[in-house]
C-alpha cells in the first residue's frame, strides 16, 4: 500500500496513520498490506461482505482480480472464481486493459510475493 493509501484510509476511519497501521496493516516482505479478519477476509470487508472503504480503496484492491498470481495460470483463475462469485461476470477486458490495471495496481515486475 502506498503512503497516500494509508493516509486516506486512516483519515476515513478517523485514526492517525500510526493507529491505523497498528490496527489494520500487516507487513508482507518490504510492503504493507491490509490484514485479514477472523474469517480470513480483508479487514475492510464488512459483515455484509461489502468493502467498507470501496470509494477510497487502495491500488491493490482497485486492481483485483487482475493480480499476477491470479492470472498466472488458468488453474489459478478457476480457483479464484470458486472463491469470488463476481469473477467471470460483467464485461470482458482486453489483454491491454488487464495489463494496464495490473500496472496501476503495482502488479507488474518481480516481487518477493510472486508465485
In a domain, 17, yes or no: yes
Residue 47 lies in a domain: yes
Distance CA 76, CA 73 (A): 5
89 in the same domain as 45: no
Domain identity same for 4 and 52: yes
Residues 4 and 47 in one domain: yes
Q: Is there a single domain that holds both residue 50 and residue 80?
A: no
Report how far Cα 21 is from the mean position of its chain's Cα atoms: 16
Which residues on neighbouring strands pair with residue 32, listed in sequence order? Answer: 27
Looking at the domain assignment, is residue 95 inside a domain? yes
Domain range spanning residue 89? Answer: 63-109
Q: What is the DSSP letter of 8?
A: H
Task: Clarify whether residues 71 and 89 are in a common domain.
Answer: yes
pLDDT per residue of the chain (115 residues) written in tens, 0 to 9: 899 999 999 999 999 999 999 999 999 889 899 999 888 889 998 888 789 999 999 988 888 899 888 999 999 998 888 777 788 888 899 999 998 988 887 765 444 344 4
The number of domains in the chain is 2
Amino acid at each position: 500500500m502506498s503512503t497516500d493509501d494509508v493516509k486516506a484510509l486512516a483519515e476515513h476511519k478517523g485514526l492517525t496513520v500510526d493507529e491505523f497501521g497498528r490496527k489494520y496493516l500487516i507487513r508482507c516482505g518490504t510492503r504493507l498490506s491490509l490484514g485479514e479478519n477472523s474469517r480470513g477476509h480483508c479487514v475492510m470487508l464488512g459483515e455484509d461482505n461489502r468493502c467498507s472503504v470501496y470509494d477510497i480503496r487502495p491500488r491493490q484492491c482497485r486492481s483485483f482480480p487482475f493480480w499476477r498470481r491470479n492470472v498466472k495460470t488458468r488453474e489459478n483463475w478457476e480457483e479464484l472464481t470458486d472463491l469470488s462469485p463476481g469473477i467471470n461476470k460483467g464485461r470482458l477486458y482486453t489483454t491491454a486493459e488487464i495489463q494496464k490495471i495490473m500496472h496501476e495496481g503495482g502488479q507488474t515486475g518481480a516481487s518477493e510475493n510472486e508465485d
